[in-house]
Structures are given as structure tokens and as C-alpha cells.
Amino acid sequence: MEDRLSRTLEALADPARLAVVRLLRKKPRRSSEIADALSLNRPATSKHLEVLRQAGLVEAELIDEDARARMYRLLPERFSELRDFVDDVEAYWGDQLASFKGHVERKHGGAGGRRK
């Protein structure tokens, strides 16, 4: 899972690919629609989509009426793994802050850390 998480984070680190993900959150789109919406040329769009596809973040489906065109949509699995990772990190910091708060309250007696 660490390798997949690394690929996910690397793929999302690029602002253009993050913009693609934001677009695809709304609905699946053709690569040409993505290029136009983001003012990217077609080759750059194709490269970004390939990185996202290899990271397992999007899938491409051939469109019946045009064998050259593909419809791209987000895949939920990698985003779920990313959410789990962020939840774990957030839980760690929540535990750390709770421990620190408990320590301060024990050391200084009571809430707010005020001494009498």
C-alpha cells in the first residue's frame, strides 16, 4: 500500500493533475474537454491523464461513436486509501494534542493551565 500511496501523492503533486481531478469530481469528461477546460495542449493533457491512470486515480473508457476518443472518470479506491492515510495522521495528532492537554492539566492543575 505504501508504494500505491506514494504514486497517488506524486500524481496529485502536480497542479495540472490536481486540476484534472477537480474537473472529474463533477462528471466524467473526454480528454479534449479536459484540455479545453484547463487550457492545456492535447499532448500535455494526455501525459497528465496517463500519470493519473497509472496511479489508479482515473480510468479511461473508449467512446463507441469515436474509437479515438476516451471518457475519463475518477476511481474511488485510491482516494479512499488517501483518505484513510490522512485520517490516520489526523488521529495521531489528535492523540498527541489530547496527551499534551492531559499533561498540562495534571502539571498545572485544572483547565486552562491557571495556577492559584
Per residue in 64-114, pLDDT (tens digit) is 777 778 999 999 888 788 888 888 788 767 666 766 777 677 888 765 545
User: What is the three-class DSSP state of 51?
Assistant: helix
pTM (two decimals): 0.70
Q: What is the pLDDT of residue 3?
A: 87
Domain 2-75, CATH: 1.10.10.10
User: What is the three-class DSSP state of 96?
Assistant: helix
Domain limits of the chain? 2-75, 78-113
d(CA 114, CA 109): 7
**Are the beta carbons of 33 and 1 closer than 8 angstroms?**
no
For residue 80, what is its C-alpha cell?
479512499
**Are the beta carbons of 24 and 58 closer than 8 angstroms?**
yes
Q: What is the pLDDT of residue 37?
A: 97
Q: Which of the residue ranges 10-19, 51-60, 92-101 would you say has the lowest mean pLDDT?
A: 92-101
**In the predicted model, what is the mean pLDDT of residues 50-77?**
90
